[in-house]
């Protein structure tokens, strides 16, 4: 154990890495987990989603980290499940550091998660500063610095609220944008959200991560009054986003290239979603060979006008594989279902070398957030009741 790190003390450090859909949270969580492991600290990861069958859990587990998943609602609305998940991880792997990734369309985490954790379980957790990641291309559009496909105002409200409650704003994917655009974005973020520490990193290349990680480990969470949130606008924003989770069994007549299958399906979905007027927030898929040696292919697409990227590839051909698909886009969920069905038919329909069988499908618009607790004061003794 490393005594210099606060996480090595009796209370486990609780780190939340937030940020909008597709900002790079899971990639960063995986990097941070590895960083801590290399320094002799045990970690436990907690993933979260409105639905079940998560790409993020599959991906993090494939890296060998202990992961618990809270499905079917966000941390704030399933606070007790969050505490239970931490308890389960403690029983199996005794983490000194918990890293939790909240749902990318969730905000008000300080009042509904950090402060309640501190107040109810103060002995068990040392709360780290809240980091909020941004994708620089998406952030520039939301802040009005650049043109391009964007979300409607109520979705942008959630995006801005996430930044407002942060202690650290982390501009991720710095490898993608020129220095002058980064400087402009940093300037706009510092003006609109004064007092936050802004980091520039690339979770992909590793640039800038150490400085950010050390700040997470060595700084206490902010103790200001939690921000005000208009739960009507927040709920309307959430309800504009469609969610679709599916699990599909792929079977080849002979061995087939799983990476290519993911690329083709992602391209087909992108085209259909774009023509239906859906603004993609994050489309992600994993392909897991059945009976394979544990390798996993992962593909992601984070906006309509980008290309789907394989962040992990399979080395060998596969014959049977399980595909998990998670799509979050601004569109009615029914539109996402239509795009999936059309795409599966086009890519794996009758007469194709690879066929598909849909094993699990859920699609919905999230309901109004109903937090278990809401405490606006770090030292709160009384709980605020939300009007619902």
Ligand X SMILES: Nc1nc2c(ncn2[C@@H]2O[C@H](COP(=O)(O)OP(=O)(O)OP(=O)(O)O)[C@@H](O)[C@H]2O)c(=O)[nH]1
Q: Does 130 bind ligand X (CB under 6 A)?
A: no
| Closest separation in Å from C-beta 103 to ligand X | 7
Quickly list DSSP for 145-202: SS-S----HHHHHHHHHHHHT-SEEEE--GGGS-HHHHHHHHHHHHHHSTT-EEEE--
Number of H helices, E strands in the chain: 12, 14
300 near ligand X, rule: CB under 6 A: yes
Joined tokens for residue 209? 């991560």
From the CB of 142, what's the least distance to ligand X, in Å? 15
In this chain, which of 14, 26, 30, 203 binds Mg ion, going by CB under 5 A?
26
Query: What is the rounded CA–CA span in Å between residue 343 and residue 358?
Result: 12
Least distance from Mg ion to the Cβ atom of residue 351, Å = 36
Residue 8 binds what, of Mg ion, ligand X, none (CB under 5 to 8 Å, by partner type)?
Answer: none
| Identity of the residue, 133 or 226, whose beta carbon is nearer to Mg ion in the bound complex | 133
Shortest distance in whole angstroms from residue 14 CB to Mg ion: 18
Using the contact rule CB under 5 A, the part of the chain among 55-63, 111-119, 214-222, 285-293 near Mg ion is 55-63
Q: Is residue 22 a contact point for ligand X (CB under 6 A)?
A: yes
Q: Which of residues 318-357 bind ligand X (CB under 6 A)?
A: none
**Measured distance CA(363)–CA(45) in Å, rounded:** 26
| Spatial distance between the Cα atoms of 319 and 376, rounded to a whole number of angstroms | 53
| Residue whose CB is less far from Mg ion, 203 or 347 | 203
Nearest-approach distance from CB 337 to ligand X, in angstroms = 19
Q: Which stretch binds Mg ion (CB under 5 A): 26-34, 62-70, 113-121, 153-161?
A: 26-34
Give me the helices (H) in 307-362, please: 333-348
With CB under 5 A as the contact rule, the residue among 25, 141, 154, 161 that binds Mg ion is 25
Cβ atoms of residues 185 and 147 within 8 Å: no
CB-CB neighbours of 338 under 10 Å: 16
Binding mask 178-207 for ligand X (x = CB under 6 A): ------------------------xxx---
CA distance 369 to 386: 11
Q: H-type helices in 320-377, by residue range?
A: 333-348
Q: What is the DSSP string of 71-131?
A: -SB-TTTTHHHHHHHHHHHHHHH--SEEEE---TT---HIIIIIHHHHHHHTTTEEEPPPE
Residue 21 lies near ligand X (rule: CB under 6 A): yes
Assess 33 for contact with ligand X (CB under 6 A): no
150 binds ligand X (CB under 6 A): no
63 is a contact residue toward ligand X (CB under 6 A): no
Which of ligand X, Mg ion, none does residue 107 bind (CB under 5 to 8 Å by kind)?
A: none
Residues 214-273 interacting with ligand X (rule: CB under 6 A): none
Which stretch in 18-26, 89-97, 136-144, 237-245 sits in contact with ligand X by CB under 6 A? 18-26
C-beta closer to Mg ion: residue 98 or 348: 98
203 interface partner picked from ligand X, Mg ion, none, CB below 5 to 8 A per type: ligand X
Q: Which two tokens stand for residue 268?
A: 């087909």
- Tell me: does residue 49 bind Mg ion (CB under 5 A): no
Residue among 44, 73, 104, 242 that touches ligand X (CB under 6 A): 104
Q: Which is nearer to ligand X, 209 or 375 (CB)?
A: 209
Q: Which stretch binds ligand X (CB under 6 A): 20-28, 85-93, 225-233, 372-380?
A: 20-28
List Cβ neighbours of 183 (8 Å cut-off, separation of 6 or more).
none
Give CB contacts under 8 A, 24+ apart, made by 25-29: 25/101, 25/104, 25/133, 26/56, 26/59, 26/60, 26/101, 27/172, 27/203, 27/204, 27/311, 28/133, 28/170, 28/172, 28/201, 28/203, 28/209, 29/60, 29/99, 29/101
Query: Which residues within the stretch 216-275 sit at the binding site for Mg ion (CB under 5 A)?
Result: none
Binding site for ligand X (CB under 6 A): 19, 21-27, 56, 104, 172-173, 175-176, 202-204, 282, 284, 300, 302, 309, 311
Binding site for Mg ion (CB under 5 A): 25-26, 56
């Amino acid at each position: 154990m490393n005594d210099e790190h606060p996480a090595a003390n009796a209370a486990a450090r609780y780190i939340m890495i937030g940020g909008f859909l597709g900002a790079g949270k899971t990639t960063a969580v995986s990097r941070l987990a590895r960083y801590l492991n290399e320094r002799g600290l045990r970690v436990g990861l907690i993933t979260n989603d409105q639905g079940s069958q998560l790409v993020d859990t599959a991906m993090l587990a494939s890296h060998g980290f202990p992961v618990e998943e809270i499905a079917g609602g966000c941390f704030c609305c399933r606070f007790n499940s969050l505490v239970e998940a931490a308890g389960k991880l403690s029983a199996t792997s005794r983490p000194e550091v918990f890293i939790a990734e909240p749902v990318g369309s969730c905000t008000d985490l300080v009042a509904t998660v950090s402060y309640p954790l501190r107040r109810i379980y103060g002995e068990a957790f040392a709360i780290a500063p809240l980091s909020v990641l941004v994708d620089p291309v998406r952030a520039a559009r939301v802040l009005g610095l650049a043109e391009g496909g964007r979300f409607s105002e109520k979705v942008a409200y959630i995006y801005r609220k996430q930044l407002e409650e942060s202690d650290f704003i982390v501009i991720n994917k710095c490898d993608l944008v020129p220095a002058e655009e980064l400087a402009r974005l940093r300037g706009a973020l510092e003006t609109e959200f004064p007092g936050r520490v802004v980091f520039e990193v690339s979770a992909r290349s590793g640039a800038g991560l150490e400085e950010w990680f050390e700040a997470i480990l060595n700084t206490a969470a902010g103790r200001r009054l939690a921000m005000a949130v208009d739960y009507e606008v927040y709920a309307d924003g959430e309800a504009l986003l469609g969610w679709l989770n599916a699990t599909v069994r792929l079977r080849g007549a002979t061995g087939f290239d799983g990476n290519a299958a993911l690329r083709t399906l992602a391209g087909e979905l992108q085209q259909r979603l774009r023509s239906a007027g859906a603004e993609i927030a994050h489309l992600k898929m994993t392909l897991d060979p059945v009976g394979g040696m544990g390798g996993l292919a992962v593909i992601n697409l984070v906006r309509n006008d980008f290309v789907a990227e394989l962040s992990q590839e399979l080395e060998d051909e596969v014959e049977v594989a399980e595909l998990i698909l998670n799509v979050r886009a601004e569109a009615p969920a029914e539109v996402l279902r239509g795009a999936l069905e059309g795409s599966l038919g086009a890519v794996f329909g009758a007469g194709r070398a690879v066929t598909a069988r849909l094993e699990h499908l859920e699609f919905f618009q999230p309901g109004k957030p109903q937090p278990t607790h809401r405490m606006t004061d770090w030292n709160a003794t009384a709980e605020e009741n939300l009007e619902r």
